[in-house]
Amino acid sequence: MRIQLSATKVHNDFIRKVEDMSGQDLLKCYQCGECSAGCPAAFAMDILPNQVIRLLQLGEHEAVLKSKTIWLCAACQQCYTRCPKGVDLSRIMEAVRDLLMLEHGDRIVIEKLPAETLAEFPQQAFISGFRKYTA
Amino acid sequence: MKRIGVFICHCGINIAGTVDVKRVAEALKDYPGVVLATDYMYMCSDPGQSLIRQSIKEQNLEGVVVAACSPAMHEVTFRKASAQAGLNPYQTEIANIREQVSWVHQDDKEAATRKAIEHIKTIVEKVKYNESLIPLSLSLVKKALVIGGGIAGLQAAIDIATAGYPVVLVERSDRLGGHVGQLSGVYVNFNAARDLLQSKLQAVQANPRIQVFLETEVEELGGYVGNFTAKLKHRGSDGSEPTFSEHTFGAVIVATGHSLRPLSKFGEYGGGRYPDIIDALTFERMLAPDGPTGGEIRRPSDGQVPRQVVFVQCAGSRDPEHHMPYCSKICCMYTAKQAALYRQRVPDGQAYVFYIDIRSQGRDYEEFVQSAMTQHDVLYVRGKVARLYEEDGKVIAWGADTLTGKPVEVQADLAVLATAVMPAEGAVELAQKLRIATDEHGFFSEAHPKLRPVESLTAGIFLAGTAQAPKDIPETVAQASAAAAKVLSLFSQRELVAEPTIAYVDEELCSGCGLCIPACPYQARTMHPWKHKAIVNEALCQGCGACVVACPNKACKLRNLTPSHVLAMMDAYLAEV
């Protein structure tokens, strides 16, 4: 399927939100591929980390949302450490996950959980650290 | 008999690794005429040259043979060393036992050694017959011709005239400035091209030593370095007959610029049929304040401001199958500039640049391209556009994003092609008139790609700007100044010195048949007006020997390569070792 590029598509709301939430300029990336080259999880990914940014640059976020890659990213920041342009890809991955989760809403309603269960819960910050694996 | 010294160079292991240099020295020691035969690690080194100088003095040598590398490499070195010891430099000859012996016979050391011995003996025989010669002095006209009034020609003319020498600047169109005069702002700072050019034009106009001829072309160029004669053709105004003028010059700078691959050559991009598929120079005129739209970006078909613009790089470049195989070098940079300027003037517009690779070599160039992507939001797509066509008032671009591996399509309002830089129209014909070489595309060839990049192979003719190869403004200006510096170093001499090892005519033997005149490839032969004997123009003669072969009376000879020389050399070669 041929991708239809247009001004509205490459600057769509989703892309804008990703940039806002991650604080990253997607167009800074010049697609050298060093993020993919160093990523310890790349072997298991369906699209490479650099392709996540590339698809967002083209306004093709649907393809990113469907990918396993955003969930396999462990936010180890190897990519950011090595990026010659200082793009923090893990933040972009996080923004995409957050947007997806906001779209789907929380699956757990805290109020409905029994008090004794709640008492055994760890701190929220700890939960948040694992949250991306549960959405 | 002449007292001759033979000096055998090891050239490290280049020669000594194959040729048994000790055996060669031993074999030459007792050869008739040889009073000294010795070897040394590097004859061209300071101690090597001292050995030659010292031996000349101590042994009263009257001839020297250096068995070493090609004379193209070190003939000058060893002749100079001989001269320093008081020996006429033309009594020193090279026997090339590296390129012609050791390098080509590495697998047979015995044969290489024997060949080296034979080879040196022939040169010893030659030296026996060598005359002491004095270099020729030629007069020098200290006035330059600059062909082409673009930025290269302007710069070269300014530099030469500022140094105090008169310049004639010829331009075939009706205005100076060339392509730079057609540009809007230049990368990497968006400075107005007009202002850059204006400073050069003012310098030319203010300099009384520069004479400008517009609508003028070089009709003929004769003569040689220091003494060129040029016939200039001045186009008549209003269709009247052209007029001609004749001038003499000491040097010529060729700065005739380039042309662009026409849109008609790109069938896949509409072949020039669609008004909204234009080349980058047309877009440049659109961006220029003095252009047809007064600097407003409006598409040609309906005058609307284009909301989406597709830029296609490498249109006709890097395409050996259909177009030009080379990189046009300037397109990556000006495309980034044009896309950025478009985004500045149409803030809500979207620019796409389709590219194969981005080549941004130069100070601040890479940063400039990246600023087009980040600051000006230009979307770069890696992949060459396969097809452009118009449909319902849109220009449809079919490309691919090779980074994601997906084909893409853009429905644009305007497409701008970065068409290949080509030689200027008539470049090959001009090269023939000037007797300079061109490459397979028609760009003028430099004498050496690394070490003589601004000289042509014809002495006294220099190259500047895109006439030689695609290059941008700073490179063009640098080359123009370099060519001017070459002219000035020529003009700083009182007279020209030339090699005396050229042809001469024995008037006693010459019958005036004239066969040598058409045989000469350098137009160095004429007939004496009343003696009716062939004469040699010493400045033009390159000593090739074609006249010697053509002459039925053996009246033509080359200095230090007469029949006596050659026959003695043959005898030495054919003798039993």
In this predicted structure, what is the pLDDT of residue A101? Answer: 84
Place of tokens 């640098």: B478
Structural contact between residues A35 and A82, judged by C-beta atoms closer than 8 angstroms? yes
* Rounded-to-integer distance, Cα B554 and Cα B556, Å: 6
Residue B70 structure tokens: 């090609």
In this predicted structure, what is the pLDDT of residue A113? Answer: 85
What is the torsional sign of CA B124, B129, B133, B136?
negative
* Rounded-to-integer distance, Cα A72 and Cα A128, Å: 16
CATH of B262-422, one of 3.40.250.10, 3.40.50.300, 3.50.50.60, 3.90.180.10: 3.50.50.60
Beta-strand pair B421-423/B258-260: antiparallel
Q: State mean pLDDT over A78-101.
A: 92
In this predicted structure, what is the pLDDT of residue B226? Answer: 94
Q: A135 falls in which pLDDT band (50, 70, 90)? A: very low
Q: Does A81 touch chain B (CB under 8 A)?
A: no
Q: State mean pLDDT over B537-550.
A: 92
Contacts 24+ apart (CB under 8 A), B441-449: B441/B324, B441/B326, B443/B467, B443/B468, B443/B469, B444/B254, B444/B468
Instruction: Please say if the pLDDT value at position B482 is more than 60.
Output: yes
In this predicted structure, what is the pLDDT of residue A24? Answer: 96
Helix (H) or strand (E) holding B109: helix B109-129
* Of A1, A2, A25, Cβ closest to residue B374: A25
Q: State mean pLDDT over B61-75.
A: 96
Q: State mean pLDDT over B308-331.
A: 96
In tens, the pLDDT along B122-170 reads 999 999 999 999 999 988 999 999 999 999 999 999 999 999 999 999 9
Q: Do B408 and A31 touch (CB under 8 A)?
A: no
Place of tokens 């390159």: B542
Q: B437 falls in which pLDDT band (50, 70, 90)? A: very high
Which chain B positions have a beta carbon within 8 Å of A31's beta carbon?
A: 382, 403
Burial of residue A110 (number of CB atoms within 10 Å: 0-12, 13-18, 19+): exposed
User: What are the φ and ψ backbone dihedral angles of B470, each rounded to 5 degrees?
Assistant: -60, 130
Instruction: Please say if the pLDDT value at position B19 is more than 90.
Output: yes
In tens, the pLDDT along B24-48 reads 999 999 999 999 999 999 999 999 9
Q: Mutate one of A1, A11, A16, A27 to test the B interface: name it (highest B CB count within 10 A).
A: A27
Q: A106 falls in which pLDDT band (50, 70, 90)? A: low
B144-257+424-491 CATH fold: FAD/NAD(P)-binding domain (3.50.50)
Q: Which CATH class is domain B502-558?
A: alpha beta
Closest chain B residue by Cα to residue A28: B374
Angle at which helices B151-162 and B473-491 pack, to 10 degrees?
30
What does each C-alpha distance from B314 to B145, B261, B336 come to in angstroms? 35, 11, 13
* Rounded-to-integer distance, Cα B186 and Cα B334, Å: 8
Buried-exposed string B300-332: b where 16+ CB fall within 10 A, e elsewhere: eeeeeebebbbbbbbbbbbbeeebbebbbbbbb
**Nearest CA-CA partner of B33 in B5, B74, B66, B69:** B5
**Nearest CA-CA partner of B295 in B187, B414, B185:** B185
* Rounded-to-integer distance, Cα B564 and Cα B271, Å: 66
Instruction: Please say if the pLDDT value at position A123 is more than 90.
Output: no
CATH 3.40.50 fits B4-135, yes or no: yes
SS3 B562: coil
Instruction: Please say if the pLDDT value at position A109 is more than 80.
Output: no
The answer to which of A107-116, B137-146, B189-198, B272-281 has the lowest mean pLDDT is A107-116
In this predicted structure, what is the pLDDT of residue A132? Answer: 58
More confident site: A135 or A41: A41
In tens, the pLDDT along B183-239 reads 999 999 999 999 999 999 999 999 999 999 999 999 999 988 999 999 999 998 777
**Nearest CA-CA partner of B195 in B130, B151, B242, B255:** B151
* Of B374, B382, B403, Cβ closest to residue A28: B374
Helix (H) or strand (E) holding B167: strand B167-170
The answer to which of A18-27, A100-109, B133-142, B546-555 has the lowest mean pLDDT is A100-109
In this predicted structure, what is the pLDDT of residue B28? Answer: 96
Residues of chain B with CATH 3.50.50.60: 144-257+424-491, 262-422
* Rounded-to-integer distance, Cα B382 and Cα A51, Å: 13
Residue B165 structure tokens: 């020498």
* Rounded-to-integer distance, Cα B19 and Cα B101, Å: 8
Which superfamily, per CATH, for A7-108?
Answer: Alpha-helical ferredoxin (1.10.1060.10)
Q: A133 falls in which pLDDT band (50, 70, 90)? A: low
Q: Do A27 and B398 touch (CB under 8 A)?
A: no
In tens, the pLDDT along B357-370 reads 999 999 999 999 99
In this predicted structure, what is the pLDDT of residue B267? Answer: 94
In this predicted structure, what is the pLDDT of residue A116? Answer: 87
* Rounded-to-integer distance, Cα A14 and Cα A16, Å: 5
Closest chain A residue by Cα to residue B407: A2
Percent of chain B's residues with pLDDT above 90: 94
SS3 B529: coil
Which chain A positions have a beta carbon within 8 Å of B377's beta carbon?
A: 27
